[in-house]
């Protein structure tokens, strides 16, 4: 009789909150397709984010604004089919929740039903209070996102560090408390001073995941194309590159082209 293979347990929002209590850091990465999500999940990541950064890295748009709800659902469902263990969070795209709480609920329900993801993420604080509350009323787990919120890039005008000034920092702290009280299970803080992020993480009971927010938070998230060095055009200070996949892939493609042109591929063993 073969021994049962012990699989890691499914990561839930409850597991994340236990990790925060134990001081165990949470790892989170984006994925947008089945094959990448399968690798990331099997490597042991805690949370897979189907980010609206798909608009940039998958579709080549300048900002995250153009991606649609249907496209996010396509990416979300592809990722969910691959992931066995990690918690899967899908971004609500721009225009699918701001300013209309009924639409926010409808968009969230579509994501949960049509992707089978575990949770949704949205950007903003008190200004989207009604939408946040309505989504919670349907029992959908919500992750917040404050600081540099790329869906508001046309309001900010630049991708520079947010909340350096006291007034903006104060609003961010208020928004973070609002999101926790409203029922968010976690919060992403993007590109804000490390000291402020550390303060928010220590004041909140829910896990706070940073991107460009220093090391005093409960976990880190990066866009997978950036950390693998597939996307070479984006190199902010907070990014650590773990590989140069651009060079690896273009080297392999170059070798293939050479083999095809020289007639070396396919050889005897590679044909029928």
Nearest to 246 by CA among 236, 263, 261, 233: 233
> Quick check: 231 binds ligand KIV (CB under 6 A)?
no
The answer to whether 226 and 181 are in contact (CB under 8 A) is no
For ligand KIV, the binding residue among 46, 52, 118, 218 (CB under 6 A) is 52
> Least CB distance from residue 173 to ligand KIV, whole Å?
19
Short-list 257, 252, 251, CA closest to 265: 257
Determine the Cα–Cα distance for residues 251 and 248; give it in Å rounded to an integer. Answer: 5
91 binds ligand KIV (CB under 6 A): yes
CB of 48 to ligand KIV, least distance (A): 11
What residues are paired with 89 via a beta bridge? 49, 119
Provide the mask over 191-220, with x wherever binding to ligand KIV is found by CB under 6 A and - wherever it is not.
Answer: --------------------x---------
Applying CB under 6 A, among 122, 188, 192, 228 the residue interacting with ligand KIV is 188
Per the annotation, the verdict on 190 as an active-site residue is: yes
Within the chain, how many helices (H) and strands (E) appear? 11, 8
88 binds ligand KIV (CB under 6 A): no
Q: Which is nearer to ligand KIV, 112 or 150 (CB)?
A: 150
The residues with which 30 forms a beta bridge, in sequence order, are 49
Integer Cα distance of 133 and 272 in angstroms: 61
List residues near ligand KIV by CB under 6 A.
30, 49, 51-53, 91, 145, 188, 190, 211, 221, 223
Active site residues: 190
């Amino acid at each position: 009789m073969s021994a049962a293979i012990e699989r890691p347990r499914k990561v839930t929002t409850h597991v994340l909150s236990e990790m925060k209590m134990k001081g165990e850091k949470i790892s989170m990465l984006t994925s947008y397709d089945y094959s990448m999500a399968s690798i990331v999940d099997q490597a042991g990541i805690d949370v897979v984010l189907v980010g609206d950064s798909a608009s940039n890295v998958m579709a080549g748009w300048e900002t995250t604004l153009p991606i649609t709800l249907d496209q996010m659902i396509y990416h979300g469902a592809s990722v969910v089919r691959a992931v066995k263990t990690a918690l899967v969070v899908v971004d609500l795209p721009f225009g699918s929740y701001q300013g209309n709480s009924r639409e926010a609920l409808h968009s969230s329900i579509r994501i949960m039903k049509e992707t089978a993801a575990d949770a949704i993420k949205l950007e903003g604080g008190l200004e989207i209070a009604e939408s946040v509350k309505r989504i919670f009323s349907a029992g959908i787990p919500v992750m917040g996102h404050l600081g540099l919120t790329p869906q508001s890039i046309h309001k900010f005008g630049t991708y520079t560090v947010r909340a350096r000034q006291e007034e903006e920092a104060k609003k961010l702290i208020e928004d973070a408390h609002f999101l926790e009280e409203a029922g968010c299970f976690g919060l992403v803080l993007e590109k804000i001073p490390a000291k402020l992020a550390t303060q928010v993480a220590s004041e909140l009971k829910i896990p706070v995941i940073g991107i460009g927010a220093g090391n005093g938070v409960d976990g880190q998230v990066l866009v997978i194309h950036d950390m693998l060095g597939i996307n070479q055009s984006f190199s902010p200070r907070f990014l650590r590159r773990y590989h140069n996949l651009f060079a690896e892939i273009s080297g392999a493609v170059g070798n293939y082209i050479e083999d095809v042109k020289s007639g070396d591929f396919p050889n005897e063993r590679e044909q029928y």
